[in-house]
Amino acid sequence: MVMYLSFIILFVLGSLSFTIKRKHLLLMLLSLEYMVLSIFMGLFFFFNLLMYEYYFSLIFLTFSVCEGALGLSLLVQMIRTHGNDYFQTFNILW
């Protein structure tokens, strides 16, 4: 029971930091990766409880790595075009 409670606490803390640190893109990406790792931990506990195979967790890790690579490429592109990772300088309406 403590493992499931820790999964919920980790996910809530990750989403809280995602909403608080919305000024910088890098901090938002780190919060998203933290949330993905907490979901992976929850999946691992769930599969372990029901004695399932762990193939889905490998697929989930593959998609999370792709998500991280896409986020980092967007961060690099934003820094090259705008000079920083603030969302204030990246305005779509301009």
Contact call for residues 85 and 26 (beta carbons, < 8 A):
yes
Residue written as token pair 């499931």: 4
User: What pLDDT shows up at residue 16?
Assistant: 93
Per residue in 48-64, pLDDT (tens digit) is 888 888 888 889 999 99
Q: Can you name the residues that pair with 86 across neighbouring β-strands?
A: 24
User: What pLDDT shows up at residue 92?
Assistant: 60
Contact call for residues 85 and 93 (beta carbons, < 8 A):
no
Q: pTM to 2 decimals?
A: 0.81
Is pLDDT above 90 for 66? yes
Domains and CATH numbers, the chain: 2-82 (1.10.287.3510)
Residue written as token pair 């809280």: 16
CA distance 20 to 17: 5
Per residue in 3-39, pLDDT (tens digit) is 778 888 989 999 999 888 878 888 888 999 999 999 9
